[in-house]
Amino acid sequence: MKKTGGAFSGTPKGFAKRGCRRAFPDCWNLKSRETRNKTAPRKGKVMQMESEVLRLEHIMQKYQAPNGEITAIQDVSFSVKEGEFVSLVGPSGCGKSTLLSIVAGLIPATSGELTLYRHPVCGNSPEIGYMLQKDNLLDWRSIYKNVTLGLELRGMMTQENIDYVLELLNTYGLYEFKDKYPSQLSGGMRQRAALIRTLAIRPKLLLLDEAFSALDYQTRLAVTDDVYRILKNEHKTALIVTHDIPESISMSDRVVVLSNRPSTVRRIVPITFGLEDRTPLKCREQPEFSRYFNEIWKELDVHV
C-alpha cells in the first residue's frame, strides 16, 4: 500500500508567498537567507561573536570497567566562542566521544567544570543539538515527519516552528522531497535532512561526532561543504569530533589536539585562511593547508 505524505501535505499559510524554489537537491543556494541576514543589527552580531558559548575546565572522566577503573580523560580545558567552529582530534579511544557526551549533558564528568553560556550544564539542554555518524532517519516516516520528530517529541509543534522547518527544507533544497521517504533520498540528502531535524529545535551549539565518516570520500567532501555552509548561514556554533585531520582544518577556526588516553590537550591550533567566503573545499586548495596538516600531525601520537 502506498504511504501517504503524513500530517503535512499542503502549502502552509504564508509559505506560498515566498514561493517554493524548484529544488536542485545537490545544488541549493543560500541567497534568500543571506539577504535576510543582512538585516540583522551589525553591532549586536559582533558583540555576540565575542561571547563565550562553552567552557570546559579541567574535565576528568573515569569509567568503571570489569577489569578496574579506566581514566579516559585526564585533564581537558578549552572554550568555544559564539559562531566559532572548534574541532577535537586525537587518537582513537582518547575520549573524544566521551567529551561530547559530557558536553551534551548525557553523562556527568567525574570532575571538572562545564558551563554553557556561563551556566553549569546539567542534563540535556535544548540549546545543544547532536549529530552522529548515522543519520538515524526513521524509514517509515516521510522526510517531513522525520525532520519534525524532535519538535513532536518535545511538544514544540507550534505553527512558528513548523514554518521554520519548512523554510529550512526550502532553503536547503529538500522542500520538494518532504513527502518522500528516507530510502528515496541520496546519502547527502539524508544527512541534510538529519541536520534539518537537529536544527528544528533551534539549538545554538551543534555537536558533530564523526558525522561524515559513514560516507564515501567524494560524498563526504560535498556533504561537509553543505553542512558547513548551513551551520554558518544559520549562525550556529559547532564542536566537531573527527579523526580526519584535513576535515578538522577545513571546517574549523581552532583545532584542539588531544593526547592518547588518558587525554590531555596537547595543543590548540588556530586556523585562518585569507578567504573572503570560506568553505571547506576552498580551504583544501590553500597553500597554508599542508602547513596546518603537518603542525597537527606532529602533535598526534600516531604509531603503526
Binding interface with Mg ion (CB under 5 A): 97
- Nearer Cβ to Mg ion, position 77 or 97? 97
From candidates 65, 139, 183, 276, binder to ligand ADP by CB under 6 A? 65
Q: List the single partner that 229 binds among ligand ADP, Mg ion, none, CB under 5 to 8 Å by kind.
A: none
Contact call for residue 95 and ligand ADP (CB under 6 A): yes
Say how far apart CA 176 and CA 127 lie, in whole Å: 29
**Local structure of 94: helix, strand or coil:** coil
From candidates 74, 98, 146, 224, binder to ligand ADP by CB under 6 A? 98
**Taking the chain, what is the end-to-end CA distance rounded to the nearest angstrom?**
53
Host H or E run for residue 229? helix 217-233
Query: Which residues, in sequence order, are bridge partners of residue 79?
Result: 55
Choose the binding region for ligand ADP from 27-35, 64-72, 132-140, 141-149 (rule: CB under 6 A). 64-72
Host H or E run for residue 30? none
| Strand arrangement of the beta sheet that strand 237-241 belongs to | 119-120, 111-116, 52-65, 68-81, 263-270, 254-258, 85-89, 237-241, 205-209, 128-131
Distances (CA, A) of 83 to 5, 80, 146, 233, 252: 36, 9, 27, 10, 11
Contact call for residue 94 and ligand ADP (CB under 6 A): yes
118 to 157: interface string for ligand ADP, x by CB under 6 A = ----------------------------------------
- Nearer Cβ to ligand ADP, position 70 or 156? 70
Contact call for residue 266 and ligand ADP (CB under 6 A): no
> Shortest gap between Cβ of 261 and ligand ADP (angstroms)?
5
Contact call for residue 63 and ligand ADP (CB under 6 A): yes
Q: List the single partner that 125 binds among Mg ion, ligand ADP, none, CB under 5 to 8 Å by kind.
A: none
From candidates 67, 92, 183, 218, binder to ligand ADP by CB under 6 A? 92
Say how far apart CA 78 and CA 54 lie, in whole Å: 8
Contact call for residue 67 and ligand ADP (CB under 6 A): no
Q: List the single partner that 254 binds among ligand ADP, Mg ion, none, CB under 5 to 8 Å by kind.
A: none
Distances (CA, A) of 213 to 6, 27, 247: 31, 22, 10
Say how far apart CA 4 and CA 141 lie, in whole Å: 10
Query: Which residues, in sequence order, are bridge partners of residue 265?
Result: 258
From candidates 97, 133, 260, 286, binder to ligand ADP by CB under 6 A? 97
Q: Which residues of this chain interact with ligand ADP, rule CB under 6 A?
A: 63, 65, 70, 72, 90, 92-98, 261
